[in-house]
Amino acid sequence: MSLTLQESCNLYERNARRNKSVQSFADFNKHNFTCLPVNADVERDFTTVVGKLRKAEGLPIRGRLFSLFRRLTKSDVSEVASSPQAVSTPATKSFAVTEHKIEKAMRMSIRPPSPASETSDTWTLEAYVKAVQESGLTESKGLIVHFMPEHKGDPISSLASKLTKSTWESIRGKSQETSIKMKDGTMMDLASIRLNEEDVKKFVHNRKKKVEGPYFIRFSGI
């Protein structure tokens, strides 16, 4: 299964903010089931911006990146970038062309139709809570916050943070530090996402009333 173009761009941008190197569109598609299209100009421009921000402020990158989705949908591209199959390991990264059209990726998900019994690509709070429970990700006294995205794709450990004093202050917007450490060791920049206000209020209320976690806060991209 592949993600839609919008989902692919969001995942690629989040990955670029957190890591020391930026994968090519082709390599990223190969390992993440994304559908980033062939566009050397946009890929080069995005990598250049990320490199400058990383050099200026380190990781994670908090500065505003241009919208990869907008740039790609305004560009004259029609093919999906993917890594070619090679008999031996290639000396350099290269691109291959598939028959998928970017217009199709924009109009619809390029996943094949799924039976109604199968789980969709969009999280519901009930399904996310169940997934967290099945993951076995816990902290003593429920001191853990799970950030629920709109769409599936990221590991649950990269969306969960131990509830420390600094995390508490950052979520409430009471700290200048907006980056919090996740359970998988990566960093999440709260300034780069939009937290659900009702979930944050409920989280703050429950903590003050000493209601034991885990806590769940939905979020969306900016």
Its sign, for the CA torsion 110, 113, 118, 124, is: positive
Instruction: Give the C-alpha separation, 112 to 163, whole Å.
Output: 39
The answer on 134 and 56 residing in a single domain is no
94-139 pLDDT, tens per residue?
Answer: 444 444 444 444 444 333 444 433 446 899 989 999 999 998 888 9
- The answer as to whether 114 is a domain residue is no
- Any long-range contacts for 83-89 (C-beta under 8 Å, 24+ apart)? 83/26, 83/27, 83/29, 83/30
Walking along the chain (222 residues) 10 residues at a time, the average pLDDT comes out as 79 88 89 87 90 86 84 69 42 44 43 43 90 90 93 90 94 90 90 91 92 92 65
Domain end among 107, 138, 156: 107
Same-domain pairing of 9 and 98: yes
Let me know whether 91 and 146 are in one domain.
no
Q: Is residue 116 part of a domain?
A: no
**Last residue within a domain, chosen from 107, 136, 169:** 107
End position of a domain, from candidates 107, 136, 166: 107
Range of the domain at 185: 125-221
pLDDT reported for residue 81: 66
Residues 54 and 101 in one domain: yes
Half-sphere exposure of 158 (CA within 13 A, CB side): 12
Residue 195 in domain = yes
The count of structural domains within the chain is: 2
Rounded to two decimals, what is the model's pTM?
Answer: 0.49
